Amino acid sequence: MKITIRKIAFHIKYLFIYIFYLPHFKQYHKTGKKEIINSDIHVWLKAYKLPFNERFGFIFLMRNFKPFRNLFYQRAGRGRLLVFLCPPDDKLIIDHTTKIGSGLLLYHPYSTIINAKEIGDNCIIRHLTTLGNIDNDNTKRPIIKNNVDIGCNVIILGAVEIGNNCKIGAGSVVTKNVPDNCVVVGNPAYIIKNDGVKVRQEL
């Protein structure tokens, strides 16, 4: 195999990058949440069509996607050295008490606040979205179940439950429970599809 200066420079560059991220790798292995972080890595790599394995995918996402850093720090903890080397996105807030399932994808989550009681597996959250409490009471926070796709500029407030396999349309305001397998839109939100059947149904 012919070794060129470009190839050597490429490998040296990634050696230094790998060393730079050693504290993050240490935290990644120490946290006990390696499998769930790997599920995040796979989902993000697939969504952005990035051809990396877990190790290089982790490095690439930490280098280039600040929201991924927020999610990683929420799962693994945010030591001072980690945050100094890779600052999180200050326009995304993920409450440290939110229980988050595997494979959460955050699409350009500018001005997004995630203060839910629980978020299930394989969910998507977009920008300008707020999941929050009411009356400044953290016992009254949303529960988001599995496979929920939340559009941009969505507000979900209070002790409400969003069922499995739901889609929340852009600009929706949800303050009531949403059953499984529904699509909801509007302010206040109402159901436009239930189990694949078009309807117009109040929550």
Of 63, 90, 117, at which residue does a domain stop?
Answer: 90
The total domain count for the chain is: 2
pLDDT digits (tens, 9 = 90+) for 90-136: 999 999 999 999 999 999 999 999 999 999 999 999 999 999 999 88
pLDDT digits (tens, 9 = 90+) for 128-171: 999 999 988 999 999 999 999 999 999 999 999 999 999 999 99
pLDDT digits (tens, 9 = 90+) for 41-55: 999 999 999 888 888
Residues 185 and 162 in one domain: yes
Residues 78 and 98 in one domain: no
pLDDT confidence bin for 180, thresholds 50/70/90: very high
Residues 51 and 102 in one domain: no
Residues 83 and 112 in one domain: no
Residues 102 and 174 in one domain: yes
pLDDT confidence bin for 32, thresholds 50/70/90: confident
Q: What is the reported pLDDT for 24? A: 83
Compute CA 7 distance to the chain's CA centroid, rounded to the nearest angstrom: 35
Of 34, 67, 90, at which residue does a domain stop?
Answer: 90
Instruction: Supply the range of the domain harboring residue 74.
Output: 1-90
Distances (CA, A) of 9 to 4, 23, 64: 9, 23, 20
pLDDT confidence bin for 36, thresholds 50/70/90: very high
Residues 47 and 110 in one domain: no
Helix count and strand count (H, E) for the chain: 6, 16
**What pTM did the predictor assign?**
0.87
Residues 156 and 140 in one domain: yes
Residues 58 and 95 in one domain: no
Of 36, 66, 90, at which residue does a domain stop?
Answer: 90
Tokens 């929420």 belong to 74
Q: Over 90: is that where the pLDDT of 195 sits? A: yes
Q: What is the reported pLDDT for 13? A: 63
Distance (Å, rounded) from C-alpha 90 to C-alpha 112? 10
**Which of 149, 153, 75, 159 lies closest to 117, judged by CA?**
159
Residues 107 and 67 in one domain: no
Q: Over 90: is that where the pLDDT of 59 sits? A: no
Residues 4 and 95 in one domain: no
Q: Which two tokens stand for residue 184?
A: 């909801």
Residues 9 and 32 in one domain: yes
Provide the CATH number for the domain around residue 99: 2.160.10.10
The pairing of strands 124-125 and 197-202 is unpaired
